[in-house]
Amino acid sequence: MTSLPDFKLETHFSKWEFAARYHLTASDAESMSLADLLALASPAARAGFENLWLGYTETYGAPDLRTAIAATYAQQSPDNILCFAGASEGIFAANTVLLDRDSHAICITPNYQSHETLPLAICDATGIPLDPADNWSLDIDRLAAAIRPNTRLVTINFPHNPTGAILAADRYTALIDLCRMHGIYILHDEIFNGLGPSGTQHLPFIADVYERGLSLNVMSKAYGLPGLRIGWIACQDKELLSQMERMKHYLSICNSAPSERLALIALENRAQILARNNALIDENLPKLAAFFARHENLFEWSAPQGSCMGFVRYKGADGVEAFARDLVEQSGVLVLPSSIYSSALGQTPQDYFRIGFGRSGLDEALAAFEAHLARNG
């Protein structure tokens, strides 16, 4: 593996995420306190946390946690689950195990950076751009044309980061059929599955519908619990899971025992937590729509299909980079310019920024945003 480039999104966040007064680009739902999470626990689950033995845990993850994770799928057993210290470790393990220098990988663009840079550090890769004129959808014919005899992995992400787009069901089925015909694995980053406005129709988990599908998920996004650092991959291919487990021996070895107990409590209250987070999205989306309608000379807004973020086109003559920089430096409002999503595999839109709406406090953030526009109008 060659050396990895700077992770642009995380570098940007390391500078601004905790320094900016208004974090208006978060991709995770509203977090809760430890006390609030424990208040949801059954007496047995709370006792399990409070009386926890602080030793090593199983590399695959605690059996009861894997049972709870498997229950979120339609067709998975605990043996099909491998836990990780967050989603990023799972992305690293999957790419490292599946790919070698003689492989070829395909990923969609724009995307979370590691879905591109990790394959590129190992082998040749091809980017397939999502089309903003087609609701950020995926051209299956274009992807089919990119397949080579040595194509080993296709990586997708729906609901999509940063646009919130969800692939149409018929295209999803066509993609699976195509990869099945060629024996290609699909890594589906599904960390926003379950999160979105009322009526959101999420795709079925790839592990449930494809024998070479890897379902990547995490407690961080839809559940709003990134501090737990608990993620997982579900997959029907147990030998592949075993290889990734051996890769994990070089990484985290095992998950945090307290985090496993807390993740189990959250999953046992999954419906309540997701309902709470999605209600906040329903509350916030009309506020964003009204805000961008007031400033349609500057912004082009299309409501996302899922997740708690959207991609906004900026029309100002100064360009989105200068706009985003001035917004955070002058007014403390943090958004994510589309340069963060630039790709080595082809052109990506450069006049957008990511905005998040899954957290409380949106009114105050939009007021600061509005005041900034008034001062600089």
pLDDT, one tens digit per residue, over 196-247 is: 999 999 999 999 999 999 999 999 999 999 999 999 999 999 999 999 999 9
Q: What's the CATH fold of domain 37-269?
A: Aspartate Aminotransferase; domain 2 (3.40.640)
Tell me: the pLDDT tens digits for 162-205? 999 999 999 999 999 999 999 999 999 999 999 999 999 999 99
Residue 77 has pLDDT above 80, yes or no: yes
Residue 377 has pLDDT above 80, yes or no: no
Q: What is the pLDDT of residue 15?
A: 85
Instruction: Report how far apart the first and last C-alpha atoms of the chain are (Å, whole number).
Output: 49
Torsion of CA 191, 194, 200, 201, to 10 degrees: 80
Alpha-carbon gap, residue 53 to 56, rounded angstroms: 9
Q: What is the pLDDT of residue 163?
A: 97
Give the rounded percent of residues in the chain with a pLDDT score beyond 70: 99
CB 109 within 8 A of CB 94: no
Alpha-carbon gap, residue 254 to 66, rounded angstroms: 13
Residue 331 has pLDDT above 80, yes or no: yes
CB 230 within 8 A of CB 259: yes
Tell me: the pLDDT tens digits for 115-139? 999 999 999 999 999 999 999 999 9
Tell me: the pLDDT tens digits for 23-36? 999 999 999 999 99
| 290-319 average pLDDT score | 97
Query: Which pLDDT band, with edges at 50, 70 and 90, does 10 fall under?
Result: confident
Alpha-carbon gap, residue 296 to 80, rounded angstroms: 48
Query: Which pLDDT band, with edges at 50, 70 and 90, does 1 fall under?
Result: low
For the purposes of burial, counting CB atoms within 10 Å of the CB of 205, is it exposed (0-12), middle (13-18) or buried (19 or more)?
A: buried
Residue 285 has pLDDT above 80, yes or no: yes
Hey, where are the domains in the chain? 8-33+271-376, 37-269
Largest Cα–Cα distance of the chain, in whole Å?
A: 60
Task: Look up residue 125 and give its amino acid.
Answer: A
Q: What's the CATH fold of domain 8-33+271-376?
A: Aspartate Aminotransferase, domain 1 (3.90.1150)
| 278-291 average pLDDT score | 98
Q: What is the pLDDT of residue 13?
A: 81
